[in-house]
């Protein structure tokens, strides 16, 4: 996925054809390292994303819709001030650098001028700089000489290009010819070519070396020049399995063609950023739920420890009764006594500790008071114990849903659950809108539709939406997705029931541990207790089947509803 000068040159040419004449009518900065420009071309509204993230730096068109933060960052406000309403006159590469310059004609009530937005796509050094007549108006990442920076990127300073590398400029045919001498005879020609010629990343260099016809009689320098500057582009995307991994402006070996370089980049970056966003969100939710689980386990351990201390309650009552029954035999000043325990067969002697400063009656009262205190403690802690166990079980079900999630939308309602539990802050955005309900996982088996919930909230929705004669399934003794077979008045065949049970086992905590018992019954026998947490139900009239989980969800899946 090289963002080198070669690919940026083709990229700038495409953007110039698509954006020239368009007007900027909206500027959004959804993240600290990304800016979105909404450009109306007269025919359509295009979104240009400029990202300076070291892993995903790019300038290209995107279809993604991202929310603006509640408070716009300073750089976003600067761009809005100077660029809203501006008309794009051209998009071009600066020299043969990894810089794309977007030139705009800006008109205000008092003046009109040209401004240039420099998109520096240089890995961890990527930046966005706005300049007018060569003077910097602002930069996403500012730098001054006081901070020891090699380049001054500060409002009021003159915009200067990065210092040139000690490499040959491929536009200079003589310099290029000298640089590529003996490249093909080296152990790693692609690396030598990349090290000697400016603007070429290793994947591009490797492709040049691979395509060079050794017997064509063409000098290697001429072939490199023609590859970089002549001929039409052939945008493509290279896949590994079903995952788009790389794009290129010219055909890569084993890659699939793309309609445009913008489409190729959108495919690759859409997948890469989506995967990263999913992993980050999943990690965030797991951390929040795990932290809650640890707190609940700590509280539960404290309650159990106190209840263990209360196991001595009956012993205190017994000792109080024995002292009372033998009070005539006891005297103040005794530290202990041995009394017959007439509650046990044979009345064995029981040693009872006494406070020598108290009378026998007062010692008996002390034991009765301790018994009453311990009994009150048990009565108070028992409901708390059940509540904590219920809360812990619910948290474990949330963690199970997070572990079973496969894409970002699986996590949407789980995030709302955690927000409702005050474990996460509600995201602030400029526009608060109700999140759309995520669709169920939907499968088809022998003419029957089988639906599975993605989380506790969806499990509740799934149960509510099911018909009374639909078949409902859930794993026994494991947290799992609720699964419903839409019967539609028909008898569900054993093959469909087995498929649904194996699907339920797949989306459960027991996956990977051998056969799993799955309970099933008609939906009419599934009830949700009043006030119960999301995903919790009671069910009766059920049967159990023992199945192996599916090795993977069946494909293709039908569209969710």
Handedness of CA 380, 382, 385, 390 (dihedral sign): negative
- Closest-CA residue to 182 (of 228, 225, 219): 219
Instruction: Supply the pLDDT for residue 557.
Output: 61
For the chain, domains (ranges, CATH) are 5-147 (2.30.310.10), 441-547 (no CATH)
Q: Is 71 exposed, middle or buried (0-12, 13-18, 19+ CB in 10 A)?
A: exposed
Contact 264, 360 (CB under 8 A): no
Handedness of CA 274, 423, 405, 298 (dihedral sign): positive
Give the whole-angstrom CA distance, residue 544 versus residue 524: 17
Coil, helix or strand at residue 339: strand
Q: What is the mean pLDDT of each run of 10 residues along the chain (561 residues)?
A: 85 94 94 94 93 92 86 94 95 94 90 94 93 94 70 90 88 90 87 92 88 82 90 87 88 87 92 90 91 93 91 90 91 92 89 93 94 93 92 91 86 83 67 63 93 91 94 94 94 94 92 90 94 90 94 65 56
Token pair recorded at residue 443: 């499968």
Give 301-307 contacts, CB < 8 A, sequence gap 24+.
Answer: 303/381, 303/384, 303/385, 303/388, 304/385, 306/377, 306/381, 307/377, 307/378, 307/381, 307/382, 307/385
Distance from chain centroid for Cα 63: 19
pLDDT digits (tens, 9 = 90+) for 219-245: 899 999 998 988 778 899 999 888 898
Q: Which letter does DSSP use for residue 141 in this model?
A: S
Instruction: Supply the pLDDT for residue 430.
Output: 44
Q: Which letter does DSSP use for residue 134 in this model?
A: T
Distance from chain centroid for Cα 80: 30
- Closest-CA residue to 512 (of 388, 432, 414, 404): 404
């Amino acid at each position: 996925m090289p963002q080198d000068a070669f690919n940026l040159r083709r990229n700038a040419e495409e953007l110039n054809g698509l954006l020239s004449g368009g007007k900027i009518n909206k500027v959004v900065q959804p993240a600290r390292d990304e800016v979105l420009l909404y450009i109306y071309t007269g025919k359509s509204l295009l979104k240009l994303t400029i990202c300076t993230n070291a892993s995903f730096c790019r300038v290209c068109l995107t279809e993604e819709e991202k929310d603006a933060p509640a408070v716009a960052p300073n750089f976003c406000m600067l761009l809005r001030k100077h660029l809203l309403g501006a008309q794009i006159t051209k998009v071009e590469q600066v020299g043969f650098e990894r810089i794309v310059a977007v030139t705009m004609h800006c008109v205000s009530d008092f003046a009109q001028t040209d401004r240039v937005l420099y998109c520096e796509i240089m890995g961890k050094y990527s930046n966005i700089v706005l300049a007018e007549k060569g003077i910097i108006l602002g930069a996403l990442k500012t730098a001054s000489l006081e901070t020891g920076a090699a380049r001054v990127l500060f409002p009021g300073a003159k915009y200067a290009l990065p210092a040139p590398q000690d490499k040959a400029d491929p536009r200079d045919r003589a310099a290029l010819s000298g640089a590529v001498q003996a490249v093909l005879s080296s152990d790693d020609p692609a690396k030598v070519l990349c090290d000697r010629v400016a603007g070429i990343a290793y994947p591009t260099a490797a492709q040049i070396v691979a395509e060079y016809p050794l017997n064509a009689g063409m000098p290697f320098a001429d072939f490199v020049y023609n590859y970089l500057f002549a001929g039409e582009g052939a945008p493509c995307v290279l896949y590994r399995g079903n995952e788009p991994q790389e794009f290129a402006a010219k055909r890569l070996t084993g890659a699939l063609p793309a309609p445009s370089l913008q489409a190729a980049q959108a495919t690759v970056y859409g997948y890469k950023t989506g995967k990263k966003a999913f992993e980050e969100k999943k990690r965030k939710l797991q951390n929040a739920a795990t932290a809650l689980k640890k707190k609940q386990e700590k509280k539960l351990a404290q309650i159990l420890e106190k209840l263990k201390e209360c196991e001595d309650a009956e012993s205190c009552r017994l000792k109080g009764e024995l002292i009372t029954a033998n009070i005539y035999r006891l005297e103040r000043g005794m530290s202990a006594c041995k009394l017959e325990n007439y509650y046990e067969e044979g009345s064995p002697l029981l040693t009872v500790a006494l406070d020598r400063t108290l009378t026998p009656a007062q010692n008996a009262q002390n034991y009765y008071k301790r018994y009453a205190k311990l009994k009150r403690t048990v009565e108070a802690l028992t409901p708390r114990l059940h509540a904590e166990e219920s809360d812990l079980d619910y948290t474990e079900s949330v963690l199970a849903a997070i572990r079973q999630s496969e894409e970002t939308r699986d996590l949407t309602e789980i995030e709302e659950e955690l927000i409702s539990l005050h474990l996460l802050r509600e995201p602030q955005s400029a526009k608060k809108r109700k999140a759309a309900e995520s669709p169920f996982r939907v499968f088809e088996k022998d003419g029957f539709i089988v639906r599975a919930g993605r989380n506790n909230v969806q499990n509740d929705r799934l149960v509510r939406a099911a018909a009374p004669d639909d078949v409902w399934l859930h794993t026994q003794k494991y947290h799992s997705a609720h699964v419903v077979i839409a019967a539609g008045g028909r008898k569900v065949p054993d093959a469909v029931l087995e498929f649904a049970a194996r699907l339920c086992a797949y989306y459960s905590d027991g996956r990977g541990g051998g056969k799993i018992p799955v309970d099933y019954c008609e939906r009419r026998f599934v009830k949700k207790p009043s006030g119960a947490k999301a995903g919790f139900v009671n069910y009766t009239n059920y049967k159990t089947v023992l199945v192996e989980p599916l090795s993977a969800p069946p494909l293709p899946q039908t569209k969710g509803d």
